[in-house]
């Protein structure tokens, strides 16, 4: 039986801890979800002491908590916060860490180490933890949360996973993709597998195509130096978009346990058809917003993509020949993440359509953010007409059904799951590598003469014209389903 729970945050003075982690842990404490006897020990180079750390974190809580901040609750919580100044590259500092943990813990304790550091420190930190036996499980659970990114390509992801596996068992490693902590992403599983009416039509017989959009309004801002070496394909597709594809496309798992769900997701990743160098120009679009190269920290003639669209296929019985269109970019018209499932049109057009009108397909829109919910677009008869039809929208919004404050931050769910050892929403080593296996050849092909040109687009638009032609050449359009748009098919001329 463990005496207490220790949470060690490597990179505790950084942006992630200020904006996401500490507020999430504070809210879990308010909700009495973390064990009563706990300590949070921050580790970073800054020359702070416990008092200064508490003061800094209080300011962060005031600024970033999405719930009503209460000073009394903060005071109680802050008594559990400690800090030590140390360097990830100095082995002596880890000896100090070990002593500090022993002082803080009342007997055998569970420990969660959170790697909120730059990725180049992930392995050195874990190796030090291993060297000092801090992750041995003889006296309690030892879990390590690894932030994104897991590598920058297949080789580096594999090297990181290999290095981690030399110190930790796979069940001790929690690779985070904060998208999976969002309620509306988790609801994808509930929607698909807790309802009987969707699964029978969730396949190539009824679905025409699937679209996934992850759009950001912001540009690169203070991340320019990092982003210019990365681009949208690594930053968004390799993790978030591919995760969403696997949740939409996976088979029903045997049960709701981590391994069952992760097994099914991996099967999807294994079935994604690679995009070959000969297909690269027709299956992908890459763009850069105008003005990107003038951003401080970006190379003068940078070829880094800030927008990408691609078409992928999943070669299995359920999805053969159903295109999945993915797009993501910066400086787009709106911030939104959404999935649109466009169904096939009825086989027979029974009702008269005005001239030049085409039959409208049913669309299921799943809004991940900002307006979490589900829209179903279907046809209805216009009153007082013989048989005129019009598309209408049936909506579910989280905020209406469950209240505005019921949606926790993704990091809250993920921190709690990691503390409890539930790996369902975390990425396994193999999944991260399979995803890179799909992305790497695209990045490689983009460098070749066969690759599509780097197109440009206006900030505040929906991306380059080529991304619209990409779909319109097949008689399809990008679909918006979130917020005020309520399942609207964007006319390409008004994009
Ligand atoms: N920020 C986000 O919203 C966000 C979102 C998703 C994922 N992430 C991931 O989270 C990780 C951290 O990101 P971040 O934005 O928080 O970075 P950050 O603001 O640059 O913070 C880095 C932290 O690491 C510490 N650090 C740097 N070098 C160190 C060293 N040699 N020894 C000890 N401490 C050292 C810094 O401490 P000092 O400044 O005191 O030296 C600081 O606390 C990254 O892997 C990132 O990809 C971040």
163 occurs within a structural domain: no
The pLDDT value given to residue 450:
79
The pLDDT value given to residue 292:
96
pLDDT tens, residue by residue, 435-468: 999 999 999 999 988 788 999 999 999 999 999 9
222 and 125 within one domain: no
13 alpha carbon – ligand 1 mean position (Å):
7
119 alpha carbon – ligand 1 mean position (Å):
9
416 occurs within a structural domain: no
134 and 240 within one domain: no
Strand partners, 82: 41
Instruction: Tell me the CA distances in angstroms from 200 to 9, 196, 252, 318, 435, one per residue in order.
Output: 45, 8, 12, 11, 28
| Stated pTM of the model | 0.93
Euclidean distance between CA atoms 48 and 1, whole angstroms: 33
Q: Which residue has the tokens 């020990």?
A: 41
Beta-strand relationship, 284-289 and 454-457 = parallel
125 contacts: CB under 8 Å, gap ≥ 6: 10, 88, 113, 115, 117
Buried b / exposed e over 57-66, threshold 16 CB at 10 Å, is bbebbeebbe
Euclidean distance between CA atoms 437 and 154, whole angstroms: 6
pLDDT tens, residue by residue, 24-51: 999 999 999 999 899 999 999 999 999 9
135 and 216 within one domain: no
379 and 232 within one domain: yes
Does 16 contact ligand 1 (Cβ within 6 A)? yes
> Domain boundary residue among 147, 166, 198?
147
Euclidean distance between CA atoms 129 and 331, whole angstroms: 41
Q: What angle in degrees, to the nearest 10, is found between the helix axes of 22-30 and 71-78?
A: 100
93 and 221 within one domain: no
* Residue 110, token pair as written in the block: 């569970």
Let me know the angle formed at the C-alpha of 265 by 259 and 271, rounded to the nearest 5 degrees.
135
Strand partners, 38: 5
pLDDT tens, residue by residue, 299-309: 999 999 999 99
433 contacts: CB under 8 Å, gap ≥ 6: 154, 157, 158, 161
Residue 406 pLDDT exceeds 90: no
Residue 358 pLDDT exceeds 80: no
139 alpha carbon – ligand 1 mean position (Å):
29
303 occurs within a structural domain: yes
The pLDDT value given to residue 495:
40
Q: Which residue has the tokens 């359509």?
A: 353
For the domain that residue 21 is a member of, what is the CATH number? 3.40.50.720
Positive/negative CA dihedral, 85, 87, 93, 97: positive
Does 19 contact ligand 1 (Cβ within 6 A)? yes
152 alpha carbon – ligand 1 mean position (Å):
17
Question: Could you give the number of structural domains in the chain?
Answer: 2
**Mean per-residue pLDDT over the chain, rounded:** 93
For 13, list phi and psi in degrees, rounded to 5. -95, 5
The pLDDT value given to residue 492:
44
351 and 206 within one domain: yes
For 237, list phi and psi in degrees, rounded to 5. -75, -50
> Domain boundary residue among 124, 147, 170?
147
160 occurs within a structural domain: no
Indicate the pLDDT class of residue 429, thresholds 50, 70 and 90: very high
Beta-strand relationship, 109-115 and 142-146 = parallel
Q: Is 51 a catalytic residue?
A: no
462 and 378 within one domain: yes
Indicate the pLDDT class of residue 485, thresholds 50, 70 and 90: low
> Domain boundary residue among 103, 122, 147?
147
3-state secondary structure of 431: helix
Q: What angle in degrees, to the nearest 10, is found between the helix axes of 22-30 and 410-420?
A: 70
Closest protein CA for atom 35 of ligand 1: 44
Strand partners, 389: 381
Q: How many angstroms from the chain centroid is the CA of residue 491?
A: 28
Euclidean distance between CA atoms 7 and 131, whole angstroms: 19
Element (H, E) at 436: helix 429-446
Residue in 240, 375, 468, 485 annotated catalytic: 240
What is the average per-residue pLDDT within 51-68? 93
Q: Which atom of ligand 1 is nearest to the CA of 88?
A: 32
Beta-strand relationship, 284-289 and 307-312 = antiparallel
157 occurs within a structural domain: no
**Cis peptide bond prior to 186, omega within 30° of 0:** no
The pLDDT value given to residue 386:
85
Does 87 contact ligand 1 (Cβ within 6 A)? yes
Helices of type H across 89-208: 91-104, 122-131, 154-167, 183-193
Buried b / exposed e over 256-294, threshold 16 CB at 10 Å, is eebeebbbbbbbbbebbeebeeeebeebbbbbbbeebee
Instruction: Tell me the CA distances in angstroms from 321 to 30, 91, 317, 390, one per residue in order.
Output: 49, 54, 10, 29
221 and 90 within one domain: no
Euclidean distance between CA atoms 123 and 115, whole angstroms: 10
Closest protein CA for atom 45 of ligand 1: 118
153 contacts: CB under 8 Å, gap ≥ 6: 436, 439, 440, 443
272 and 384 within one domain: yes
What is the average per-residue pLDDT within 88-95? 98
478 occurs within a structural domain: yes
321 and 266 within one domain: yes
Q: Which residue has the tokens 């807790």?
A: 194
9 alpha carbon – ligand 1 mean position (Å):
10
What is the average per-residue pLDDT within 111-140? 97
130 and 196 within one domain: no
Euclidean distance between CA atoms 119 and 232, whole angstroms: 18
Residue 190 pLDDT exceeds 60: yes
Helices of type H across 285-371: none
The pLDDT value given to residue 14:
96
The pLDDT value given to residue 368:
93
106 is in which domain, residue-wise? 4-147
Q: Which atom of ligand 1 is nearest to the CA of 86?
A: 33
190 and 107 within one domain: no
For the domain that residue 287 is a member of, what is the CATH number? 3.30.360.10
What is the average per-residue pLDDT within 168-194? 94
CB-based contact 239:147 (threshold 8 Å): no
């Amino acid at each position: 039986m463990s005496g207490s729970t220790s949470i060690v945050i490597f990179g505790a003075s950084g942006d992630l801890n200020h904006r996401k982690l500490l507020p999430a842990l504070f809210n879990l404490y308010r909700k009495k979800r973390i064990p009563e006897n706990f300590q949070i020990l921050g580790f970073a180079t800054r020359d702070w002491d416990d008092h200064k750390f508490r003061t800094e974190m209080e300011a962060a809580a005031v600024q970033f908590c999405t719930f009503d901040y209460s000073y009394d609750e903060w005071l109680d919580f802050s008594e559990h916060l400690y800090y030590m100044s140390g360097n990830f590259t100095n082995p002596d500092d880890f000896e100090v860490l070990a002593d500090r943990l022993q002082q803080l813990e009342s007997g055998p304790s569970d420990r969660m180490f959170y790697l909120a550091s730059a990725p180049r420190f992930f392995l050195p930190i874990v190796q030090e933890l291993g060297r000092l036996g801090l992750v041995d499980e003889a006296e309690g659970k030892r879990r390590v949360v690894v932030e994104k990114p897991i590598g920058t390509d297949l080789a580096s992801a594999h090297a990181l996973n290999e290095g981690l596996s030399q110190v930790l068992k796979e069940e001790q490693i929690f690779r985070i993709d904060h998208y999976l902590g969002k309620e509306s992403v988790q609801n994808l599983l509930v929607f698909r597998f807790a309802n009987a009416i969707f699964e029978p039509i969730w396949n190539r017989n009824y679905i025409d195509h699937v679209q996934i959009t992850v759009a950001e309004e912001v540009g690169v801002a203070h991340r320019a130096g990092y982003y210019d070496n990365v681009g949208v394909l690594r930053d968004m597709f390799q993790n978030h978009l591919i995760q969403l594809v696997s949740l939409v496309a996976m088979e029903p798992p045997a049960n709701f346990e981590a391994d069952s769900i992760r097994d099914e997701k991996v099967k999807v990743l294994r079935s994604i058809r690679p995009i070959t160098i000969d297909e690269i120009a027709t299956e992908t679009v890459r763009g850069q917003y105008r003005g990107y190269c003038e951003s401080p920290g970006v190379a003068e003639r940078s070829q880094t993509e800030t927008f990408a669209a691609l078409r992928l296929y999943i070669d299995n019985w359920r999805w053969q020949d159903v295109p999945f269109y993915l797009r993501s970019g910066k400086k787009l018209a709106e911030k939104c993440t959404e999935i649109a499932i466009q169904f096939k049109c009825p086989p027979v057009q029974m009702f008269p359509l005005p001239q030049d009108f085409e039959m409208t397909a049913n669309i299921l829109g799943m809004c991940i953010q900002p307006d979490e919910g589900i829209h179903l677009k279907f046809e209805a008869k216009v009153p007082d007409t013989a048989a005129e039809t019009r598309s209408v929208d049936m909506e579910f919004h989280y905020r209406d059904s469950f209240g505005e404050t019921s949606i926790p931050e993704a990091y809250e769910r993920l921190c709690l799951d990691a503390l409890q050892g539930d790996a369902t929403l975390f990425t396994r080593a193999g999944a991260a590598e399979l995803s890179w296996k799909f992305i790497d050849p695209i990045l490689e092909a983009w460098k070749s003469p066969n690759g599509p040109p780097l197109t440009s687009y206006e900030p505040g638009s929906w991306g380059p014209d080529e991304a619209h032609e990409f779909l319109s050449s097949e008689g399809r359009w990008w679909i918006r389903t979130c917020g005020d748009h309520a399942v609207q098919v964007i006319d390409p001329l008004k994009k």
